Chains A and B, each alone.
Chain A
């Protein structure tokens, strides 16, 4: 159990670091999918089967593919010559390390790590029937709100990404005599000005 946790954690962390640091964006998207799969495995280890499958469906099936589509549509997959990180990247790394240090210190000094939580007896996750009952009885209002949010977000995403219509430009001004175009007049006058 401990061993499996170590393997999954190492795989997830390494692929997460790779997803954040590789140069080629397509490789980043693939490593992101591996990270999501590692997290799904960790949910399975925690006996949260439904969440794990939702993670596979939503993150690996939708979000990773959406990221690949965005890379494709913005032509970011082509090799780049300039550096891929900010010029002041060291500040960002220091901030992240500080956050990690504070979080670790808080976790290790809190009471949850000292004594309190003994290993629980094996508890099977709730069945799909229980989750459905809970969603339809206790959490029905949040479910409706989430449905509304998803609808609004999807419509908004389509409208934002829709091709904006080109503003019709006024026709180029051509010299007109009595409403009829005189195509040679301008060229002729230009010649005249060049060779007076």
Chain B
């Protein structure tokens, strides 16, 4: 049986990869992908804590993950629609060129 901290450390690694991608990539689509990776790392934490809980009938962890997946799907749909609208306006998805509001 794998101890809980292995799952937690793996989840932290995945979160850091997603964070690094979201902070460094220029393309808006990949920034959204990085955010999805971070959400997935959080979901893995929920499932791991549910598995190691002492209450055998507790369902809250699983339910949390189900709702989180649904919210992530809605977020991906709206985010990609926004990216397509931005592309139509600026003819690019490069975030360094979308700087009309830059002070």
Chain A residues at the B interface, C-beta cutoff of 8 Å: 1-2, 5, 9, 12-13, 16-17, 19-21, 25, 28-29, 32, 35-36, 39, 42-43, 46-48, 50-51, 54-55, 58-59, 62-63, 66-67, 69-71, 73-74, 76, 83-86, 89, 91-93, 95-97, 99-100, 103-104, 107-108, 112-113, 117, 119-120, 123, 125-126, 130-131, 134-135, 138-139, 142, 146, 149-150, 153-154, 156-158, 160-161, 163-164
Contact = CB atoms under 8 A, between A and B. Distances in A.
A13 B9 CA distance: 12
Contact of A138 (B4, B12, B59, B69): B59
Contacts of A135: 63, 66
Nearest to B10: A9
Counting chain B CB atoms within 10 Å of each CB, the highest count among A59, A63, A112, A164 belongs to A63
Interface of chain A, main secondary structure: helix
B93 A134 contact: no
27 contacts: A9-B6, A13-B10, A32-B36, A39-B43, A46-B48, A51-B47, A51-B66, A54-B66, A58-B69, A58-B72, A58-B73, A67-B32, A70-B29, A95-B20, A99-B15, A99-B16, A104-B9, A107-B9, A120-B51, A123-B51, A138-B63, A142-B67, A157-B81, A160-B78, A160-B81, A160-B84, A161-B81
Contacts of B70: 58, 146, 149-150
A92 B52 CA distance: 33
A122 to B, nearest CB: 9
B26 A86 contact: yes
Contacts of A146: 67, 70-71
Interface of B: 1-10, 12-21, 23-27, 29-30, 32-34, 36-37, 40, 43-44, 47-48, 50-52, 54, 56, 59, 62-63, 65-67, 69-78, 80-85, 87-88, 93, 96
